[in-house]
Amino acid sequence: MATQMPEVQGAYGDLPVIVFPEGEAPKGLKVVELEEGNGPMVRRGDTVTVNYHGQVWGNDTAFDSSFERHQPASFGIGVGQVIKGWDQTVPGHNVGSRLLVSIPPEYGYGSRGVPQAGIGPDDTLEFVIDIIATR
């Protein structure tokens, strides 16, 4: 049986709630466009502004959430300023889109993880990303 992606409750702009299915995390890098925006397309090399909510597969709480801080984040995309999983999945989507991205360790923080954030070396990360702007 194929592993399912989590369910995301909440619309674009709302604090997302991630509901995990039974079983193991999906294998490989996966992205699902939950809502398609109609703004400009994000391209590699752009500076993108997003709200995001990240949880380790199966955990009840976020390890990082700009939604919870009420402070969107801006950074270069596709240029190595963020983890590989973001660089490879955010470009090609439009402003106004809500994405669900499943990131295995090799596209996230690798074999070291981020212990202070509760991210282990074998953890799959689930992010809900709302694309606010690109330039």
In Å, how far are 38, 44, 61, 115 from 53, measured between CA atoms?
22, 22, 10, 18
- Calculate what percentage of the chain has a pLDDT beyond 90: 97
Residue type (1 letter), 70: H
Structurally, the chain folds into a number of domains equal to 1
Tokens of 70: 């009420």
Please report whether residue 128 resides in a domain: yes
Tokens of 121: 């070396």
In Å, how far are 4, 55, 113, 130 from 59, measured between CA atoms?
16, 6, 15, 21
| Mean pLDDT calculated for residue range 106-111 | 95
Q: Are 69 and 106 in contact (CB under 8 A)?
A: no
Q: What pTM value is reported for the model?
A: 0.96
Q: Write down the pLDDT at residue 1.
A: 40
Q: Write down the pLDDT at residue 130.
A: 98
| Mean pLDDT calculated for residue range 104-127 | 96
pLDDT band at 2 (very low <50, low <70, confident <90, very high): low
Per DSSP, 41 falls in state B
**Enclosing domain of residue 127:** 7-134
pLDDT band at 84 (very low <50, low <70, confident <90, very high): very high
Centroid of chain to Cα 31: 8
pLDDT tens digits for range 30-77: 999 999 999 999 999 999 999 999 999 999 999 999 999 999 999 999
Please report whether residue 1 resides in a domain: no
Please report whether residue 2 resides in a domain: no
The CATH number assigned to the domain holding 86 equals 3.10.50.40
Please report whether residue 64 resides in a domain: yes
In Å, how far are 26, 52, 107, 123, 131 from 9, measured between CA atoms?
19, 14, 25, 22, 17
Please report whether residue 116 resides in a domain: yes
